[in-house]
A and B are shown apart, each in its own frame.
Chain A
Amino acid sequence: MNSGIDLEMSFTEGVQNLGLSHELAHLLWIPLPMLLVLVSAVIGVLVTVWLERKISAAAQQRIGPEYAGALGILQPMADGLKLLVKEDIIPARADNVLFTVGPILVLVPVILSWLIVPFGQNLLISNVGIGIFLWIALSSIQPIGLLMSGYSSNNKYSLLGGLRAAAQSISYEIPLALAVLAIVMMSNSLSTIDIVNQQNTAGFLSWNIWRQPVGFIIFWICALAECERLPFDLPEAEEELVAGYQTEYAGMKFALFYLAGYINLVLSALLVSVLYLGGWGFPISIDWFSSLIGVSIDNPLVQVIAASLGIVMTVLKAYLLVFLAILLRWTTPRVRIDQLLDLGWKFLLPISLVNLLVTASLKLTFPITFGG
């Protein structure tokens, strides 16, 4: 595997040629990918919100947003702007500090998790050694924030919603982690880069979804539950709990929850595409294709095209999954809280344990296909 384009190296070299020290060049580089990823995450959310509204409308034979921009593309911006200028209300007997910290504690870990999402060989903020494990660790901070905001609202609906959110997150994190563990076992690394590289040896045939079909389903169900999307949107079930832990929130604090929910959805979709659908990999192997048309893989033009196509592939796969999630929203009824916990503890947990054991034994028997 070649190293591909390394923007960081070229940037630091360029700055160093201007006469700055290596440390200073590195310092100048650090905020750039962070800002880029933050902006792309927010744009991703805007697109997802728009898609959600349009696809929901199509599934119900409505038109959906139409007048704000072409095809209503500016509607999410208008929503965001509205929430930005809305009055920030804190209930009279709510706990001020916890009420304010809650939404922040929900949003920050989700945004931090974008640290490990790769869009190409070197196109990620940081290739952390613990990679995917960092995401799992960060996502367990979220229920604390949810519980905090639910408890501090001084509202029974909020409290119930917060408790439900915590119960749901905790019980679905275990099968999620076990599904990820099976992948990690196959690629011998926690790094998302290694996980993708291990899948891109023979085009789409070497994607993890063929080796981990059960793991893929478990991961997708758990990801939906973690994002609190239907059929698992119990914490904010509007028929029962008004809006769950968000009931007392207005303005920008509500917008933080809203943003966190959608960033989490896009993030989960991206991670599914990274873990199971070959990340930035093409359906056909790029090495094989470039040798077919007789161009060297080290050709700069090929590298640029491959890198940009890689980004497109990652985003495309992720948005296909987002589309599936939206479609599932209008297909499946909401599960009851006991059914939710049943599914998590009595179905997904044993299945994911069996999946892990089978993966381990397959790895011992067929070390070539299952990553020796």
Chain B
Amino acid sequence: MLGFLEKVADYTKEAASAAKYLVDGLGVTFDHMRRRPVTVQYPYEKLIPSERYRGRIHYEFDKCIACEVCVRVCPINLPVVDWVMNKETKKKELRNYSIDFGACIFCGNCVEYCPTNCLSMTEEYELASFDRHSLNYDNVALGRLPTSVTSDPSVRPLRELAYLPEGVMDPHELTANQARAGKLPNQVIKELQAQKSNEESNNSTDMDPNKSNSTNS
């Protein structure tokens, strides 16, 4: 009899706790309703890509020495470097250069290893096309600069979450002069340098009385 009652009590407790969890969950859902949507309404609003964004690769034909390092470091040997040896000057003569962005994984190895910095990553990410062959960019297409999101008059640029001031979650009502949370790398470097020089001067002032002490004794 007692065992049965215990079972009933346990069952009731379980039902009560289940109901409590349900109400808690409803509270969470209800609370979410008064938050602002995080939606970026894409063709009209765009996020500003971060400064190290790895977008479509930019290429400067005149800087290239046709060394083919980019081909060797590429995971799938993607860049096509079309050159001929000029017998008279004994130099490589570059004719064409192309990267197929239908196959590129945007790892950035080619940019990293290019000895003359003729490759760089842009912030362009809208590469959709109707034909996959048109994704194979030649040196002319690779040399074009993308329109920046901030300079496009038909687009409202929005800052990414990491670039918002502290405590701000919504990029919509933000003015351009509000600084992001935390410090920029150059600010950090400046601060570190200041700290270092401070320590040095402190050390020197510390050492001065020592010196005077030593001379005294």
- Which A residues have a C-beta under 8 Å from some C-beta of B? 55, 57-63, 327-328, 330-332, 347
Contact = CB atoms under 8 A, between A and B. Distances in A.
Interface string B12-24: 0001000000100
Given A332-B22, A347-B15, A59 B37 contact: no
Contacts, number: 34
B25 interface: yes
B22 A63 contact: no
Interface in B1-58: 15, 22, 25-26, 28-30, 32-33, 35-39, 41
Nearest to B23: A331
Contacts of B39: 61-63
Nearest to B26: A331
Nearest to A58: B33
Contacts of A332: 22, 25
B29 A327 contact: yes
Given A61-B38, A331-B28, 13 more contacts: A58-B37, A59-B32, A59-B33, A61-B35, A61-B39, A62-B39, A63-B41, A327-B26, A327-B30, A328-B26, A331-B22, A331-B29, A332-B25
A60 B35 CA distance: 9
Contacts of B38: 61-62
A60 B28 contact: no
A57 B35 CA distance: 11
Contacts of A58: 32-33, 37
- 8 tightest A-B contacts by CB? A331-B25, A58-B33, A331-B29, A63-B37, A63-B39, A61-B38, A61-B37, A331-B26
16 contacts: A55-B33, A57-B37, A58-B32, A59-B32, A61-B32, A61-B36, A61-B38, A62-B37, A63-B37, A63-B39, A327-B29, A331-B22, A331-B25, A331-B26, A331-B29, A332-B22
Nearest to A351: B15
B37 to A, nearest CB: 5
Contacts of A60: 32
Contacts of B41: 63
B29 A330 contact: yes
A354 to B, nearest CB: 12
Contacts of A55: 33
Contacts of A62: 37-39
Contacts of A61: 32, 35-39
B173 to A, nearest CB: 16
Contacts of B25: 331-332
Contacts of B15: 347
A62 to B, nearest CB: 5
A228 B22 CA distance: 19
Contacts of A63: 37, 39, 41
A327 B30 CA distance: 7
A315 B102 CA distance: 55
Interface in B92-144: none
